[in-house]
Structure 1
């Protein structure tokens, strides 16, 4: 009874942790500001266009296209550095309206895009080329699902055979066949993910695969993770009959490698979230592989051998489920971050569906542990393992459904597809602190997650700094956030992520020590929507 009560308390705690009230972890990048601003009318053509995002982005080949006032494509050079994206324009840009369509990749590996228009001299009628980011292609979702299913099944079955089968019992030939089949699916699916992802990031068809620049759209971590997954899976299968410990090590490396890519790269603290994701993947593989292993192995083991195998796995399953619950709660907390996100975003609704499916699987696991296992161990005659096999098969099928939902979660934004910031959702204020000009921006001017940026420049318009970093404090009529932790991106450029809990007028106090005895302070006001 105590064990059952502990399990229920653990589940209740995990549900609370998943949707705790921590500030949300930011996922897909969004534009904080552009220079020039959207719709700006300039006297002369700029040498460079600058985009600032709320997280690091990566440029992709042909991701930036510049169209002049006659809709002709203009050659431009793109440079990405951290949260800044620069577009160097050629000399002789025609007067009139220029349109820039852009496409970059967020830190979590998803593409984002948009368009910027500005005019030199008198604006001209102009229609911006489409900059729509296509939906995630179904072959990519299918490949991810098959890849994760094959990987977790391969690693889990290897761990099951190495750790839970009684000493002296070899790997059943049917289990070995399932392991080999799962490993083959893993290899094919993970190899297919690379080209499909590359064409998705670039927004074009498979014809792009013949171009060498296409493959550079993927970061090196994608190639490294794929290599570890494939080599680890193959090595685990090859070593299983020769050395159980070595096979388990290879399986663990393969199962945990995918934690280095995806939404965890954009959540913070990064090391904690990646570690939790790795443990979550490992626990999931042990659970799924163990269930399939039991379903295939139990009918062929002697009565007491079946009871011993089931008892070993059931004892370990408590720790596995605890790891799944705690790490799943932590990941949901850091990636989603609020109760409202569970119902307001596609990611949250998928997460709720996954939680429901996993709870059903846990109910079957509890029935196995506290009902079927005692009957099997108390049997005086040769016990029948058929009820346990049926229950584990059903439990495993439920987990496959949970994995299917996970495949969609990987390609879904926790932010619900937030649009890039526009002129109406970004506000910029300027002031002077001594001889240093300060340009402060707040976006998207809505209750919840916002980004603060500060640019400091000298009289010549060049980036500069004080003798100490600037200090920013935010407050409203009845709410005070205090000092905002700023991150310096480059000389004279600072950014911070904040959560504004209420709408209304927010006051941003900016102070900067410009000399040993001088610390001027200025206050700027921003209007935040509800």
Structure 2
């Protein structure tokens, strides 16, 4: 085989022009990584990659005259229902019979039985298109709100953060996948096709098969862990068929494709120089296995979906060639160095490819980050962004190590003429190459945690008490409806607002301005100073010193002789 980068003749060293041609690609990559991230993320609009609750009907804290037939939740993207994910309780914690239906981005909960007066709580847990679980609760009242609301713990209360063990299993899966595919590809693409290299070929085949087993076991082990994570269920639920049927079909397709693809690749690896057909089968198996993980997760919920998936596949292919190539060099370089300039030729050929691979990694990684994260705020305010920044920093370290290996150590191996010199230079290169591979393993560890992190800022779950959100109550004062709102419903500074409307829902006024006073069991704040903000709208600022039940007395003189007084209650967490 003719080498694209022949070793210089005796007494000659690579010229400055040749060396600069090799240095430029890696320097450009090192500059492109932070620069493209800055330009792309700085100008990007947030990508829709995680379902967020947009509205509910009835609204949180609403007080209705009669119970609704159904409760509707509207999200910003499609969601997936889970078994026992939606339940309705009355104020005592008793289950209210209901039926839940998911229609694209809408969850409809139908109340099957008649309910009496008091507070109702709908707890819900769903799965976004990107595989992340979301959950929360909605409380509203029929007639008067209940003084005490006691709702039992359900699957909706389970955490939505990915379990640590799942992230570790993801890391092992990606590590095995990229190592197996990369070793197999290196064996058919870069290893010399000579009988003297059959021992190196067998060594790579053994390593690739071990890595393939690790990948297959990890990807299949993640399936039950994903089920429990998404559904918020205990391990005992794995014995129920509904747990397995609730998973998306892609959660089974991906590990099956990884297993089949790697199986084809590593079983097809020969112990002698492969022909084109054998090499094609190995590379096809690698391609199938590396494409599979992109069919789930963030890429499935990011637009344009087809382009994002294709770019993510290229990202994994480039990562496999880089990591697998480094591991292969560490395994066979000493053997190759014993045979004249074989080691230098293989390393020079791989080095040329590595520059292109690194550039591909930067471009595809930046594009994926742009479409999934979408903005600087996502990088700085979310767990996904934090892990992504750590990944970028570790990749920069890998680039520095790669530059040292290629441009400081490789020329020494290429210029060595004696066997002992080649062995010494090869030993140093093996150590630094494995160090570079170790940095990439750290990158994959971060990736394992990145896969199940949401790119959206954490959204506070709506609790029955309305913690961290506003709450409102409506009272009737003769012919005037008064909507009283506390925002936020929390200990500390808050704003109380009263909005007056007539029977047609239009702003109206009383004979005098309304008066509001607040009190709790041990605290009486007295009357609140209100400011008129417009027709029928008054607001005042105050500080709630403690949590618990706060009573708001609403007084409005509706005529010269009539002054109805009503009391509403707010449960402050």
Q: Does 1:7 align with 2:30?
A: no
Q: Distance in 2 between matches of 1:298 and 1:103?
A: 53
Partner SS for 1:98: strand
Q: Distance in 2 between matches of 1:416 and 1:275?
A: 26
Q: Does 1:374 align with 2:411?
A: yes
- Alignment check: 8 A CA contact 1:97 1:123 kept: yes
Q: Distance in 1 between matches of 2:34 and 2:326?
A: 24
- Alignment check: 8 A CA contact 1:25 1:266 kept: no
Q: Does 1:152 align with 2:178?
A: yes
- Residues 158-307 of structure 1 aligned to structure 2 (within 5 Å): 158-168=184-194, 169-170=197-198, 171-241=200-270, 243-301=278-336, 302-307=339-344
Partner SS for 2:341: helix
- The Cα of 1:79 is off from its aligned counterpart by 1.1
- Alignment check: 8 A CA contact 2:261 2:285 kept: yes
Larger Rg: 2
Q: Distance in 2 between matches of 1:389 and 1:101?
A: 57
- Residues 124-523 of structure 1 aligned to structure 2 (within 5 Å): 124=146, 125-130=148-153, 131-134=156-159, 135-168=161-194, 169-170=197-198, 171-241=200-270, 243-301=278-336, 302-382=339-419, 383-384=422-423, 385-420=426-461
- The Cα of 1:63 is off from its aligned counterpart by 0.4
- Alignment check: 8 A CA contact 2:90 2:96 kept: yes
- The Cα of 1:425 is off from its aligned counterpart by 7.0
Q: Taking structure 1 as reference, are residues 113 and 322 closer, same or farther at Cα in structure 2, changes over 3 Å only?
A: same
Q: Does 1:110 align with 2:123?
A: no
Give CA deviations for 1:362-409 in whole Å, capped at 9, x if unaligned. Answer: 111112222222221222223221111111100001100110011111
Partner SS for 2:109: strand
- Alignment check: 8 A CA contact 2:54 2:75 kept: yes
2:76 counterpart residue number: 54
Q: TM-score, normalised by structure 2?
A: 0.72
- The Cα of 1:258 is off from its aligned counterpart by 0.3
2:63 counterpart residue number: 41
- Alignment check: 8 A CA contact 1:47 1:91 kept: no
- The Cα of 1:340 is off from its aligned counterpart by 3.5
Partner SS for 2:229: helix
2:489 counterpart residue number: none
1:17 counterpart residue number: 36
1:81 counterpart residue number: 103
Partner SS for 1:117: strand
Give CA deviations for 1:423-467 in whole Å, capped at 9, x if unaligned. Answer: 88799xxxxxxxxxxxxxxxxxxxxxxxxxxxxxxxxxxxxxxxx
Q: Does 1:65 align with 2:87?
A: yes
Moved over 6 A (4+): 421-427
Q: Taking structure 1 as reference, are residues 426 and 283 closer, same or farther at Cα in structure 2, changes over 3 Å only?
A: farther
Deviates more, 1:88-97 or 1:247-256: 88-97
- Alignment check: 8 A CA contact 1:58 1:104 kept: yes
Q: Distance in 2 between matches of 1:405 and 1:72?
A: 44
- Alignment check: 8 A CA contact 1:15 1:329 kept: no
Deviates more, 1:25-34 or 1:389-398: 25-34
Gaps of 5+ in 2: 1-19, 472-573
- The Cα of 1:2 is off from its aligned counterpart by 4.8
Q: Distance in 2 between matches of 1:118 and 1:370?
A: 68
- The Cα of 1:84 is off from its aligned counterpart by 0.6
1:92 counterpart residue number: 114
1:521 counterpart residue number: none
- The Cα of 1:268 is off from its aligned counterpart by 1.7
Q: Distance in 2 between matches of 1:51 and 1:367?
A: 56
- Alignment check: 8 A CA contact 2:137 2:461 kept: no
2:565 counterpart residue number: none
